[in-house]
Amino acid sequence: MNTVLLSDSNNELEKASDLIRNGEIVGIPTETVYGLGADASNANAVRKIFEAKGRPADNPLIVHLADFSQAKDFTTYIPELAYELAERFCPGPLTIVLPKNKKIPMITSGGLDTIGIRIPSHPVMHRIIELSGRPIAAPSANTSGYPSPTLAEHVMRDMNGKIAAVVDGGCSEFGVESTVIAIEGKSSVRILRPGCVTKEMLSELCSEVIIDHAILHELEAGQKAASPGMKYKHYSPKANIIIVDSDLDSFIAYVGANINDDVYSLIFDKDKDLFPYRYMTYGNDSSEQAHLLFQRLRELDDVGAGKVFVRAPKTEGVGLAVYNRLIRAAGFEVIRI
Ligand code: AMP
Ligand code: MG
């Protein structure tokens, strides 16, 4: 299959929407990362997503809608709290898990009777949903297991020849996937996957915000994941990623003691002047780190890094999302000094 690169002009967005209506899959920019979009109500189209990504069949897809008012068309029940959260955070990087109805086939929900609903704010994704008139299932547009794409060229690299088209909408603003939440009580939510709608932000509307154990911890054998994506090795480049949780002096000493030809470090911008070994940087604050992380992980593979020591991000605010992606990229290998 020839994968076409489309611009974000009106004409080309109509082409992308036609492809989706015809059961094809298209790489689409969103404010979180690039998604691999297909008609969520068309089982054959959705099957193509799982094939192109090599995604395990029990890993559910998020359904993207133009407006939260459409959520009732695909669910059996929406608690009041979901409406309040949607009012505050949608459109944006928040996915709310709700009981699904029959319009969404089981293949889309990975066999679950619930579905994650998100209202993206990116004008290109929004327009494609509107033009196609379909709910759009869109997981991150990477090969399963590899870092998520934040540029059209990342999608092209992973998906060239496997999908109908990629729309180039520039660099994704947030850089990490949406926050996924389940509603647990009248005023209580559980974060299944952290993102740029943070625990702190959710706490302004909810009396209780639980951080699911699987966000920072490896599942034990036989343990069930509330968020199926959390049980897989994920976000991981070819290079061996190791998080080093320490101050800068100890980090430098540790890298020095383990230096080798193919070692790189991923450090903060502010560390640059003092750092004596080969490095890339990933910003200073958590939002910059989220924006840059996946791009850097791909670039580290491009330069042939074998082992990468990473300065540990904070775990507050957006930092929790950065730490969650990194700890999976690292296969839970964290050195604490
Ligand atoms: P991705 O599409 O790559 O952003 O991955 C979507 C992730 O959202 C999945 O791996 C799940 O962890 C989570 N998710 C999606 N739908 C559900 C659901 N119905 N219940 C729980 N988690 C979900
Ligand atoms: Mg993904």
Atom of ligand 1 nearest to the CA of 35: 2
pTM for this model (two decimals): 0.96
What pLDDT is recorded for position 230?
A: 75
Provide mean pLDDT across the span 214-228. 81
**pLDDT, tens digit (0-9, with 9 covering 90-100), for 92-131:** 999 999 999 999 999 999 999 999 999 999 999 999 999 9
Provide mean pLDDT across the span 273-291. 97
Task: For residue 165, report the phi and psi dihedrals to the nearest 5 degrees.
Answer: -160, 160
Which ligand approaches the C-alpha of residue 147 most closely?
Answer: 2
What pLDDT is recorded for position 83?
A: 98
What are the beta bridge partners of residue 75?
A: 100
Residue minimizing CA distance to atom 1 of ligand 1: 139
Q: Where are the domains of the chain?
A: 4-215, 240-336
What pLDDT is recorded for position 232?
A: 66
What percent of the chain is modeled with pLDDT above 70? Answer: 99
What pLDDT is recorded for position 281?
A: 98
Pocket test for ligand 1, best of 36, 96, 180 (most atoms within 8 A of CB): 180
According to CATH, the topology of domain 4-215 is DHBP synthase (3.90.870)
What pLDDT is recorded for position 322?
A: 98
- Residue 115: which of 148, 134, 138 has the closest Cα? 138
Query: What is 240-336's CATH number?
Result: 3.40.50.11030
Q: Is the CB of 328 under 6 A from ligand 1?
A: no
What pLDDT is recorded for position 336?
A: 95
**pLDDT, tens digit (0-9, with 9 covering 90-100), for 29-68:** 999 999 999 999 999 999 999 999 999 999 999 999 999 9
Can 4-215 and 240-336 be said to share one CATH topology? no
What pLDDT is recorded for position 236?
A: 84
Residue 261 CA, ligand 2 centroid: distance in Å: 31
Q: How far apart are CA 142 and CA 152, in angstroms?
A: 11
Provide mean pLDDT across the span 268-275. 96
Distance separating the N- and C-terminal Cα atoms of the chain: 50
What pLDDT is recorded for position 227?
A: 79
Atom of ligand 1 nearest to the CA of 114: 19
Q: Is the CB of 94 under 6 A from ligand 1?
A: no
Which residue blocks in the chain are alpha helix, DSSP H? 10-21, 43-53, 80-89, 123-132, 152-159, 199-203, 248-257, 286-302, 319-329
Residue minimizing CA distance to atom 7 of ligand 1: 229
Name the DSSP class of 173. Answer: S
**pLDDT, tens digit (0-9, with 9 covering 90-100), for 59-89:** 999 999 999 999 999 999 999 999 999 999 9
Count of all residues that appear for the chain in the document: 337
pLDDT over threshold 80, residue 23: yes
Q: Is the CB of 60 under 6 A from ligand 1?
A: yes
Mean pLDDT for the chain? 96
Name the DSSP class of 181. Answer: E
Res. 143 pLDDT band, cuts 50 70 90 = very high
Provide mean pLDDT across the span 179-183. 98
**Per-residue tokens: 265:** 């470090």
